[in-house]
């Protein structure tokens, strides 16, 4: 199959994936009925609830909105309702008065969810929120109908979110959704408090603790490296195979950067990515440190902060690297770069993509479809990754 035909096939399939199935259309009708039910409003307060069910990367992209809101309205009491999988991002965010965790239905990456459980969970959680008392809720994920429904059930007076079909019925302040970066979208949702904010002036600015920094030093020490060692971090894993490059190419990039930057390669990842990182290390000629599963989020940030550059596919950790102001090289495929690309000046944060026409289809799970039908990441060459790494580290090729 030639590339033009392949791209046309993938575009057609992605459009079919986005078409709501019958059960979602039925759900939409039922939710519109629930949205018309009036619940006793909470008493007025200065508490604002920020609802975000997503994982690490999306939570990091929300930080500028949180900080802008607190800077504009220090009198507000800001609470965040997030998944336990993303709560570590907020541990050192001083602008938040409280962080509540909830295993949001549909986001825990578990198959053990019954059909009725999201609704039972919403009712139970709404009772908890009523006891705390909120004046406003901001639904930070654009399509998060469950979070919008939760705010409605809890009787929260102001419910702010994007004007999308499943979400809008539960809102009383609807913001037009634009095809903009997630950082910009987050700022739009709090603009009624902050006024217009120049997004490009804001960084993600993730803070880690001294203990996190000590943990990073200890990790390097265990591998025979001093705290100030010259390191390059490669984080090869991602949440889905459609975003991943090949082990062989990462090994080649690791060997060449080890030589050209006079640095030790550190391969990072989650515990379940240990096999992948070990395989990459075995393929390399140069010695590499395998640190997968060996760091907390804070220690990983502290490690990235010491690196000359961090390389990897679209993932939470690549956003974490940009959030500690370390140069990055990110390989993007199915995700929309204009919405989810690494945030920061392009001379420090390179984003590499294929030129295939179906790029950015938005489909992250192609199920059993053959990987060769989705070359949007594997199209990226070793040479382009090396050139980008040299550029963001301001190193000229020999």
- Specify the pLDDT at position 111: 47
Which phi and psi (to 5°) does residue 317 adopt?
A: -60, -30
What is the pTM for the complete model shown?
A: 0.92
**Per-residue pLDDT for the chain (398 aa), expressed as one digit of tens each?**
889 899 999 999 899 888 888 888 888 888 788 888 887 777 677 999 999 999 999 999 999 999 999 999 999 999 999 999 999 999 999 999 999 999 999 887 654 444 458 889 999 999 999 999 999 999 999 999 999 999 999 999 999 999 999 999 999 999 999 999 999 999 999 999 999 999 999 999 999 999 999 999 999 999 999 999 999 999 999 988 899 999 999 999 999 999 999 999 999 999 999 999 999 999 999 999 999 999 999 999 999 999 999 999 999 999 999 999 999 999 999 999 999 999 999 999 999 999 999 999 998 888 888 888 999 999 999 999 999 999 999 854 44
DSSP state at residue 332: -
Distance (Å) of CA 389 to CA 233, 257, 276, 331, 371? 11, 8, 22, 12, 26
Angstrom distance (rounded) from CA 172 to CA 71:
25
**Fold that domain 210-392 belongs to in CATH:** Rossmann fold (3.40.50)
The pLDDT score that the predictor gives to residue 225 is: 97
Domains 38-201 and 210-392 share a fold: yes
Name the residue ranges covered by the structural domains of the chain.
38-201, 210-392
Q: Which fold has domain 38-201?
A: Rossmann fold (3.40.50)
What's residue 398's pLDDT?
Answer: 45
Which candidate, 235, 232, 394, 265, places its Cα nearest to that of 330?
A: 235
269: Cα within 13 Å, side-chain hemisphere = 24
* Axis-axis angle for helices 297-306, 210-222 (nearest 10): 70
Cβ atoms 16, 116 nearer than 8 A: no
What Cα–Cα distance (Å) separates residue 142 from each residue in 52, 55, 160, 176, 325?
Answer: 10, 14, 10, 10, 27
Q: Are 44 and 157 in contact (CB under 8 A)?
A: yes
Total Cβ atoms within 10 A of residue 13: 16
């Amino acid at each position: 199959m030639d590339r033009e035909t392949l791209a046309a096939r993938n575009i057609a399939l992605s459009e079919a994936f986005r078409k709501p199935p019958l059960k979602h259309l039925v759900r939409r009708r039922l939710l519109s009925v629930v949205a018309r039910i009036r619940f006793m409003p909470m008493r007025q307060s200065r508490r604002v609830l920020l609802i975000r069910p997503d994982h690490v990367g999306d939570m990091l992209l929300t930080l500028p909105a949180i900080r802008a809101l607190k800077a504009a309205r220090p009198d507000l009491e800001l609470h965040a309702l997030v998944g336990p999988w993303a709560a570590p991002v907020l541990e050192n965010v001083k602008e938040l008065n409280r962080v509540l965790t909830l295993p949001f239905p549909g986001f825990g990456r578990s198959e053990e969810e019954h059909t009725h459980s999201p609704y039972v969970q919403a009712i139970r959680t709404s009772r908890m929120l009523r006891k705390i008392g909120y004046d406003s809720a901001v639904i930070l994920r654009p399509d998060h109908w469950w979070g919008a429904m939760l705010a409605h059930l809890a009787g929260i007076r102001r419910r702010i979110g994007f004007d999308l079909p499943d979400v809008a019925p539960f809102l009383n302040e609807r913001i037009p959704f634009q095809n903009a970066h997630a950082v910009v979208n987050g700022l739009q949702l709090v603009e009624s408090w902050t006024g217009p904010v120049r997004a490009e002036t804001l960084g993600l600015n993730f803070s880690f603790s001294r203990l996190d920094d000590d943990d990073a030093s200890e990790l390097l020490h265990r591998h025979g490296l001093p705290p100030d060692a010259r390191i390059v971090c490669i984080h090869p894993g991602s949440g889905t195979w459609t975003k991943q490059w090949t082990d062989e190419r990462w090994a080649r990039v690791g060997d060449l950067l080890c030589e050209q930057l006079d640095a030790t390669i550190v391969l990072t990842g989650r515990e379940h990515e240990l096999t992948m990182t070990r395989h990459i290390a075995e393929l390399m000629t140069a010695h590499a440190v395998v640190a997968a599963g060996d760091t907390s989020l804070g220690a990983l940030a502290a490690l990235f902060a010491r690196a000359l550059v961090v390389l990897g596919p679209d993932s939470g950790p690549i956003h974490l690297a940009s959030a500690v102001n370390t140069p990055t090289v990110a390989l993007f495929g199915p995700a929309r770069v204009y919405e989810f690309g690494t945030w920061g000046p392009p001379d420090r944060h390179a984003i590499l993509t294929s030129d295939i026409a179906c790029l950015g289809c938005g489909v992250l799970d192609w199920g059993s479809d053959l990987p060769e039908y989705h070359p949007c990441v594997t199209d990226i060459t070793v040479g382009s990754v090396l050139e980008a790494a040299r550029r963001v580290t301001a190193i000229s090729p020999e």
